[in-house]
Amino acid sequence: MENEFESRIDLTELHNSVSAIKAEIGKVIIGQERMIELLITAILADGHVLIEGVPGVAKTLTAKLLSGVIDSDFSRIQFTPDLMPSDILGTSVFNMKSTDFELKKGPIFSNIVLIDEINRSPAKTQAALFEVMEERQVTIGGETNKMEEPYLVIATQNPIEQEGTYRLPEAQLDRFIFKISVDYPTYEQEVEILVGHNTRENKSELAAIDKVLSKEQIIAYRQKVSQVHVEKNLLEYIAKIVNNSRSDHSLYLGASPRASVAILKTSKAFAAINGRDFVTPEDIKQMATPVMRHRVILTPEKEMEGVHPDQIIESLINNIEIPR
């Protein structure tokens, strides 16, 4: 059965491109393989990403390097408490020559948009992202402006520092296909990081990498990912995982149907990255936690106990029979 699927889609070029991206980013970033793999998966699944980790673990740098290996437009927005929606989206400006209003585009108009510390700005500025993240368009002054494909928002936040921050509402979190949690490097990796810095001296990290992927290739690869085969029993497996989160006694809020779609899309992309044009139960298990961890809310009792959502999600998955 697997051999029958193997010849359906040629994923050689896609697989080679992913290897090239990992190799380029690996020139600068030591470790963090999971973060890089999930970011590439999100690009191919056409989804936005929230990266959470303490300062200094290369969240912003990785996003910048990812934009550096893709031949596309990149913009970075630093969220602050005084940032206004028009600072992000842009505004209509009256042109004296044409005696008409014209759009002065904000930094949200790009292919890859990095939003640093997304929880630093108040609700109305965060809400300005709702339409652009979901619909890939911005409406200003009654005029709708479509975003150029591919379009990816990568947002970062610091889980430790809560002073002067505004928690993202559930509806906003639901628009991120993944929430990636980034840990500290190991001792050995930290030594390698220092060796790399010492070798590069004053050279920019971005100067160390080459562009290996075009916008057109991403669009073509997404088309291939959409053709990846998923058995009906695996669709039922995804639905069971998400559905069971809604009746789990440790969770106050379970995952939405959008989580089911996200697991499906990312499982197909993850399979393609690994050179397969069919999804396995292991692909689904790999994708379920980063897709669901920001979409569920623990009960107050579990929060008091210091339980992490990942523990509940993994336990929930382990209690479901794996399809054969």
Look at residue 114 and tell me if it is in a domain.
Answer: yes
Among residues 306, 294, 299, the alpha carbon closest in space to that of 118 is found at: 294
Domain CATH number, residue 156? 3.40.50.300
Residue 277 falls inside a structural domain: no
136 inside domain: yes
Tell me if 107 sits within 8 A of 85, measured CB to CB: no
Q: Provide the domain limits for residue 171.
A: 28-196
Given this model, what pLDDT does residue 2 score? 47
Q: Which residues of the chain have pLDDT under 70?
A: 1-7, 161-164, 201-202
The whole-number pLDDT of residue 203 equals: 72
In a domain, 14, yes or no: no
Q: How many helices (H) and strands (E) does the chain have?
A: 15, 13
Nearest partner of 119 among 43, 62, 179, 75, judged by Cα: 179
For the segment 135-154, what is each residue's pLDDT rounded down to a tens digit?
999 888 778 889 999 999 99
Residue 91 domain-assigned (yes or no): yes
* In-domain check, residue 13: no
Strands (E) in the chain, as ranges, are 48-52, 70-71, 74-78, 90-95, 100-105, 112-116, 137-140, 143-146, 152-157, 176-181, 213-214, 251-253, 297-298
**Beta-strand pair 251-253/100-105:** unpaired
pLDDT of residue 168: 86
User: Is 101 inside any structural domain?
Assistant: yes
Q: How many CA atoms lie within 13 A of 119 on its CB side?
A: 20
What's the pLDDT at 184? 87
Check residue 123 and give its pLDDT.
Answer: 86
Give domain status of residue 269, yes or no: no
Cα–Cα distance measured from residue 297 to residue 254, given in angstroms and rounded to the nearest whole number:
7
Quick one: tokens of 95? 């042109």
Number of domains in the chain: 1
Is the dihedral angle over the CA atoms 140, 145, 146, 150 positive or is it negative?
negative
